[in-house]
Amino acid sequence: MSGRKRILTVFGTRPEAIKLFPLVHALEADARFDSRVCVSAQHRGMLDQVLEIAGILPHHDLDLMRPDQTLDGLTAALLTGLGKVLDVERPDWVVVQGDTATAMAGALAAYYRKIPVCHVEAGLRSGNIHHPWPEEVNRKIIGTIAALHCAPTETSAVALKRENVDPATIHITGNTVVDALHWIVARVEADPSLAAGLADIEARFAGKRVIGVTSHRRENFGEGMEAIATAIRRLAERGDVALVFPVHLNPNVRKVMNERLVGLDNVALIEPLDYPHFARLIAISTLMLTDSGGVQEEAPALGKPVLVMRETTERPEGVEAGTAKLVGTDADRIVFEAEQLLDDAEAYAAMARAHNPFGDGRSSARIADLLVG
């Protein structure tokens, strides 16, 4: 149909898929658009889990994941692979999300063809190019290229203006992660069997307080991961808690966690959960211990305190609201902060408020409207 905007949405990892499926749904349902999807499959299993629950069948799948892939090898393969898809599709817009190698290479390949780029989750900055690494620089590169910057919050919009991005191209849309979370919570409410797979763990740890854990950041590899494992071991010595840790498939994470944590009574090291089950894990957890970006946004939305095992965050909104706390990767500090929440009801109550500084669940509709122009 003439006049329809052809939108090519490009993604490759679990968090991008989670944050872009609501937009893909919105574009597919809207007659103003011809929606096309290209996945790099920078992640494989963890991406496929999201594609399946969201019901997305990509038009292109580059199947690029290699075991323990290097950043340069991955980036080179992405650039050439995505370039070829762009030559075939010739879209009116390329949409990328966040800060991954796929998002950065997708934006660069589009720029090389003078195709305008829409950046979803624009303007997040920690101010330190080594934390998170390499995401801070990926965001800056995409921010230089994008013609449309969908900033989740006022803070991220201000960060872009500080970098002299044309204010007319910056729009505060909210973060699509809230759309995704609302969608999945509604799906599970309608069909609880979608999240029933945690029943064994829930029975095993009945009567204990659950701490949900995730960790995968590259800047934490080595010492940081070791310290996180030490903190988990120490917390697990308490009889009243259980730590449930779906371990990221990156071998650099799995090696340390398997060596240090397997076989402990109060620790369940499990495979990555699909999104309904992960939402359930947050719901049954007393608190979340994480270095993830997305979990920092989801836990506050579900009223769960989140201790962020990082030195800096590009998501200060949760910290400012008092629902998230930066605790770094020192084992003593992690244990101290977690125990404070476990043992001090007042400290816990102060952090355990449902709070949604990142969005209202209608971000995808706003972004779709912007793509018409």
Instruction: Please confirm, yes or no, whether 135 is among the known catalytic residues.
Output: yes
SS3 call for 199: helix
In Å, how far from its chain's centre is CA 367? 18
Q: Kindly give, in sequence order, each residue whose CB lies less than 8 Å from that of residue 6, ignoring residues fewer than 6 positions away.
A: 33, 34, 36, 89, 90, 91, 92, 93
Instruction: Please confirm, yes or no, whether 248 is among the known catalytic residues.
Output: yes
Look up tokens 């449902």; give the residue: 354
> C-beta of 142: minimal distance to ligand UD1 in Å?
12
Q: Which of 61, 121, 135, 298 binds ligand UD1 (CB under 6 A)?
A: 135
> C-beta of 53: minimal distance to ligand UD1 in Å?
15
Q: Which of 15, 123, 276, 361 binds ligand UD1 (CB under 6 A)?
A: 15
Instruction: Please confirm, yes or no, whether 30 is among the known catalytic residues.
Output: no
Instruction: Please confirm, yes or no, whether 119 is among the known catalytic residues.
Output: no
Instruction: Please confirm, yes or no, whether 216 is among the known catalytic residues.
Output: yes
> C-beta of 47: minimal distance to ligand UDP in Å?
10
Q: Which of 4, 45, 130, 222 binds ligand UD1 (CB under 6 A)?
A: 45
Dihedral Cα 164, 168, 171, 172, nearest 10 deg: 70
In Å, how far from its chain's centre is CA 153? 16
Residue tagged active-site, from 16, 61, 89, 135? 135
Residue tagged active-site, from 99, 136, 274, 291? 99
Report if residue 215 touches ligand UDP, rule: CB under 6 A: no
Report if residue 10 touches ligand UD1, rule: CB under 6 A: no
DSSP 213: E
46 to 105, contacts with ligand UD1 by CB under 6 A?
46, 65-69, 71, 74, 99-101
Cβ atoms of residues 98 and 152 within 8 Å: no
Cβ atoms of residues 198 and 277 within 8 Å: yes
* Cβ closest to ligand UDP, residue 86 vs residue 244: 244
Convert residues 164-203 into a mask of x (bound to ligand UDP by CB under 6 A) and - (unbound): ----------------------------------------
Cβ atoms of residues 318 and 303 within 8 Å: no
Q: Where are the beta strands (DSSP E) in 12-141?
A: 33-39, 60-61, 93-97, 117-120
Task: Pick one of ligand UD1, ligand UDP, none as the site partner of residue 214 (Cβ within 5 to 8 A by kind).
Answer: ligand UDP
The Cα-based distances of 148 to 17, 127, 160, 357 in angstroms read: 20, 22, 11, 22
Q: What are the residues binding ligand UDP (CB under 6 A)?
A: 14-15, 18, 214, 216, 246, 272-273, 275, 278, 292-295, 298
Residues found near ligand UD1 in the complex (CB under 6 A): 13-15, 42-46, 65-69, 71, 74, 99-101, 134-135, 216, 218, 249-251
